[in-house]
Structure 1
């Protein structure tokens, strides 16, 4: 099979992606990005996930560029994390400008240096409506750029682009993903807050197919 870089944040989607790629027989290297996010503790969960399946794990420290992202609730600290089910207006508060292009660009560079054929990330259908850098059009443009940016072309894989988070959870259950070793909450507290939009979506993902949710929530 192929040698692939997986972008592993430590959340449900990327954990399932990691196991999905390994199940397909690929040789996987994992990368996580520290961009100064409020929930930077997710990277520790990414490390544990990778250790559990003996996958090499690299953390790219881009925290110095955090001030460039301006006012948003994920990379900044002055705007509160929205709670409840995310609608368009409060979801926009969690948009980090151009985040995926930056994260994918770094991942593509590492993939080239490791002689990998692709970079895979866990964008899914539920992300499309509000996050502009999760739209299929964006991913297609990045895929084209990745195949032109070096003499050795790299593809951009997004195997979950046509399914939602609930279906990802179902796939993860089939693969035996240890979801207790994943982190979703945007607030980055000691435990999942249970109230922010990310926690709400996590709960809904497990509930869609009646799966047991191993997460400890504060509320």
Structure 2
């Protein structure tokens, strides 16, 4: 398969290789010539994220680039980019507002989506792309404000004013929870089996971090077969 589809419209995708960004990118795969970018910001799971993103792009015929942001891991004290212990929850605690907000604060990377989306905007302008694809969703927005609809609308307002070319951020999962994202992924034939959602860097998902638990629950609730290999 060609590494770069020849379609009329172009898109830049912010692709971590996770469930959300994989489904969001796949939503546009038939209509856009997509250049996916994956960020290396010193996160624990960087090798697995890059590997997953590369495999997804190879399967779907997208151009893929990795952008290193080594300085980002030096800001804050996120458990994703440091030796701090990852917060652990049970499946029954995933909807506990107080516990999940505490968990989110421990893995928060300062300004991460602002930085990623700003860089994607530069790529979009330079490559004459029409849209930027992101995996922001309703479930993540409960504890991560940079996944919210308000954040999406505000960023779109900013780039409308601040760019020479009309570029729009598209987040097809912005009103969806994880269960609905899995269902959308099935509908658009996203390569869910290639995606990687774990906070750790293993060949298999750890099965116990919050990201793994949300992934597990989504497949269980959607009643769609989970292709993920978990250590636990």
TM range (shorter): over 0.9
Question: How far apart are 1:174 and its partner, in Å?
Answer: 2.0
In structure 2, the partner of 1:16 is 23
1:171 to 169, 184, 187: 184
In structure 1, the partner of 2:113 is 100
In structure 2, the partner of 1:49 is 56
Preserved contact between residue 25 and residue 134 of structure 2 (Cα < 8 Å): no
TM alignment of 1:101-140, pairs within 5 A: 101-140=114-153
1:82 to 78, 87, 96: 87
Provide Cα deviations, 1:35-69, integer angstroms capped at 9, x if missing partner. Answer: 1111102111101100111111111111233212x
SS in 1 for 2:66: strand
Give 5+ residue unaligned stretches, structure 2: 1-7, 95-99
Provide Cα deviations, 1:114-148, integer angstroms capped at 9, x if missing partner. Answer: 00111110111101121121122222111111122
In structure 2, the partner of 1:150 is 163
Q: Distance in 2 between matches of 1:155 and 1:175?
A: 21
Question: How far apart are 1:161 and its partner, in Å?
Answer: 0.5
In structure 2, the partner of 1:32 is 38
Question: How far apart are 1:190 and its partner, in Å?
Answer: 3.2
Question: How far apart are 1:188 and its partner, in Å?
Answer: 1.5
Please, what is the CA RMSD of the aligned residues? 1.4
Question: How far apart are 1:5 and its partner, in Å?
Answer: 0.8
Q: Distance in 1 between matches of 2:161 and 2:35?
A: 22
Q: Distance in 2 between matches of 1:168 and 1:197?
A: 17
2:199 to 161, 164, 186: 186
Q: Distance in 1 between matches of 2:149 and 2:64?
A: 27
Matched pairs, number: 216
Question: How far apart are 1:90 and its partner, in Å?
Answer: 1.8
Preserved contact between residue 86 and residue 209 of structure 2 (Cα < 8 Å): yes
Preserved contact between residue 137 and residue 148 of structure 2 (Cα < 8 Å): no
TM alignment of 1:52-67, pairs within 5 A: 52-67=59-74
SS in 1 for 2:29: helix
Give 5+ residue unaligned stretches, structure 1: none
* 1:196 correspondence with 2:196: no
Provide Cα deviations, 1:191-215, integer angstroms capped at 9, x if missing partner. Answer: 2110010000000111111011111
Q: Distance in 2 between matches of 1:34 and 1:169?
A: 25
TM superposition score normalised by structure 2: 0.88
